[in-house]
């Protein structure tokens, strides 16, 4: 649910139109004050709708801004139109279940169902809109919020059946392999040719991971795509008021979320005068060509070691974190599979973001990063050490 004023809102894109009359009939039925379908804070919608727009963010599921007759704003997410290659990437029903449970029983910051949060989403990974002296504070809040989520006792809030209680990476490996194989064989309906094709180096990356699995030592709620641009900060404070985009959430190994959040540290910092926040690449949520590795201290970013130490201290893990290298490798592979899916949906005409065309170019970069970690990262006792490549390589 991309739900801030700073998010880009556009006219509804071709192929993403809604049947407005049917939508209003449905909303009139389920959002009455006496209904039980939504949380109480979302039941004041006044029909008819005055305006429907679409957020530019959101690669998996189209996300809309609804404005009712009282000028109150709501957020609507739906599955893409057409036949879907991956049900996992579009599990709107699971989003509802986890948001309801967390909103009702915990203090984890989540939006109410269809709630518009009036805050700020930092889409620029360099945080150029945040003063250097405050960036570490924002990162601490990001880590603390993730630690809070991972500390929830899911068995006490109705999420016992939300996922299996062990074997997370084994299941993920099987599922992601199935998904990437299907996506690799997807064909362009206009030409009959393969749309995107196989991920580069996939056999080498998966072969290494199978030989170096992550410890199956803890099961938590896993968000599935936890990162800087999937949280809403308060307008003026370094305080998170909502975590967004829960369609990939499940029960599993907390290292997965940690690795996803820290993927920015897999790419080297580049000193550039261009404001990344204004670039198409930054606004996709996919850009990984400019990262935080080896960023100058005066820019105010924490190191990846610092972030890991903060997290481990808050959740009770011993530092250095065992299995961290494997978590990074799998996280990069998984990101490549997601990008592959975005690229395929672009070819099939199902893309949810206007920036989906940029996904294809990111795939070889991500997979080369995975190889970089395998070949050059030292073991889990030295997260920042080792001889590293640039992260940006020639075409494969």
The CATH number given to whatever domain includes residue 268 is 3.90.1200.10
* Residue where a domain stops, chosen among 70, 100, 130: 100
CB 362 within 8 A of CB 339: yes
Closest C-alpha among 258, 261, 164, 170 to residue 219:
164
Top-ranked range on mean pLDDT: pick from 113-117, 195-199, 287-291: 195-199
More confident residue, 168 or 125: 168
Q: Is residue 327 part of a domain?
A: yes
Q: Is residue 127 part of a domain?
A: yes
Mean pLDDT on 369-379:
90
Alpha-carbon gap, residue 134 to 172, rounded angstroms: 36
Residue 31 confidence (pLDDT): 80
Number of domains in the chain: 2
More confident residue, 287 or 8: 8
Same domain, 214 and 348: yes
Same domain, 141 and 43: no
Q: For Cα atoms 282, 4, 302, give the angle at the middle one, nearest 5 degrees.
A: 50
Task: Give whole-number Cα distances, 165 to 2, 55, 212, 245, in Å.
Answer: 30, 35, 21, 22
Does the pLDDT value for residue 170 go beyond 60?
A: yes
Q: Is residue 114 part of a domain?
A: no
Same domain, 70 and 129: no
Instruction: Give me 134's structure tokens.
Output: 């405050």
Same domain, 65 and 173: no
Same domain, 137 and 243: yes
Number of C-beta neighbours around residue 231 at 10 A = 25
Mean pLDDT on 203-210:
98
Mean pLDDT on 228-246:
97
Comparing 25-34, 208-217, 241-250, 378-387, the range with the smallest average pLDDT is: 378-387
Q: Is residue 109 part of a domain?
A: no
Instruction: Give me 199's structure tokens.
Output: 């991920």
Strand partners, 243: 231
Residue 43 confidence (pLDDT): 55
Band of residue 145 on the pLDDT scale cut at 50, 70, 90: very high
What is the average pLDDT value for the chain, to the nearest integer?
Answer: 86
Residue 85 confidence (pLDDT): 62
Same domain, 332 and 225: yes
Residue 7 confidence (pLDDT): 52
CB 342 within 8 A of CB 353: yes
Does the pLDDT value for residue 144 go beyond 90?
A: yes
Does the pLDDT value for residue 249 go beyond 60?
A: yes
Mean pLDDT on 187-214:
97
To the question of pTM greater than 0.75 for the whole model, the response is yes
Does the pLDDT value for residue 389 go beyond 50?
A: no
The four Cα atoms 312, 213, 206, 393 give a dihedral, to 10 degrees, of 30
* Residue where a domain stops, chosen among 100, 133, 151: 100
Band of residue 36 on the pLDDT scale cut at 50, 70, 90: very low
Task: Give whole-number Cα distances, 294 to 100, 109, 277, 291, 384, in Å.
Answer: 40, 31, 20, 9, 9
Q: Is residue 1 part of a domain?
A: no
Same domain, 142 and 279: yes
More confident residue, 43 or 198: 198
Mean pLDDT on 298-307:
98
Top-ranked range on mean pLDDT: pick from 102-116, 338-352, 370-384: 102-116
Same domain, 166 and 69: no
Domain membership of residue 55 as a residue range: 9-100
Does the pLDDT value for residue 396 go beyond 90?
A: no
Share of the chain above pLDDT 70, in %: 82
Q: Which residue has the tokens 């075409």?
A: 395
Mean pLDDT on 377-396:
44
Q: Is residue 106 part of a domain?
A: no
Mean pLDDT on 246-275:
89
Alpha-carbon gap, residue 153 to 149, rounded angstroms: 9
Strand partners, 126: none
């Amino acid at each position: 649910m991309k739900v801030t004023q700073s998010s880009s809102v556009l006219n509804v894109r071709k192929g993403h139109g809604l049947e407005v009359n049917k939508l209003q009939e449905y909303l009139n039925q389920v959002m009455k004050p006496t209904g039980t379908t939504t949380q109480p804070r979302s039941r004041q919608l006044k029909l008819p709708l005055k305006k429907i727009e679409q957020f530019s963010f959101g690669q998996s599921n189209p996300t809309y801004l609804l404005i009712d007759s009282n000028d109150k704003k709501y957020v609507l997410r739906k599955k893409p139109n057409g036949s879907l290659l991956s049900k996992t990437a579009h599990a709107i029903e699971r989003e509802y279940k986890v948001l309801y449970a967390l909103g009702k029983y915990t203090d984890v910051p989540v939006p109410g169902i269809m709630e518009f949060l009036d805050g700020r989403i930092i889409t620029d990974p360099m945080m150029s809109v945040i003063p250097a002296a405050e960036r570490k504070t924002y990162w601490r809040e990001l880590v603390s919020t993730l630690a809070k989520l991972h500390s929830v006792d899911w068995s006490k809030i109705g999420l016992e059946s939300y996922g299996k209680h062990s074997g997370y990476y084994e299941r993920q490996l099987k599922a992601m392999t199935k998904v990437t194989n299907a996506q690799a064989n997807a064909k362009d309906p206009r030409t009959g040719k393969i749309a995107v094709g196989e991920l580069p180096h996939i056999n080498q990356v998966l072969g290494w991971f199978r030989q170096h699995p992550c410890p199956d030592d803890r099961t938590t709620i896993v968000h599935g795509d936890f990162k800087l641009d999937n949280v809403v900060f308060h307008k003026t404070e370094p305080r998170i008021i909502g975590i967004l985009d829960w369609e990939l959430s499940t029960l599993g190994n907390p290292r997965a979320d940690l690795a996803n959040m820290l993927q920015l540290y897999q790419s080297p910092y580049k000193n550039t005068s261009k404001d990344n926040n204004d670039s198409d690449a930054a606004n996709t949520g996919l850009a990984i060509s400019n990262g935080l590795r080896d960023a100058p201290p005066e820019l105010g970013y924490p190191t990846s070691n610092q972030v890991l130490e903060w997290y481990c201290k808050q959740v009770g893990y011993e530092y250095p974190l065992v299995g961290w290298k494997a978590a990074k490798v799998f996280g990069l592979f998984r990101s490549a599979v997601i990008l592959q899916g975005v690229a395929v949906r672009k070819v099939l005409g199902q893309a949810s973001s206007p920036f989906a065309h940029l996904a294809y170019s990111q795939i070889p970069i991500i997979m080369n990063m995975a190889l970089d970690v395998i070949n050059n990262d030292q073991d889990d006792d030295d997260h920042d050490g080792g001889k590293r490549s640039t992260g940006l390589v020639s075409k494969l």
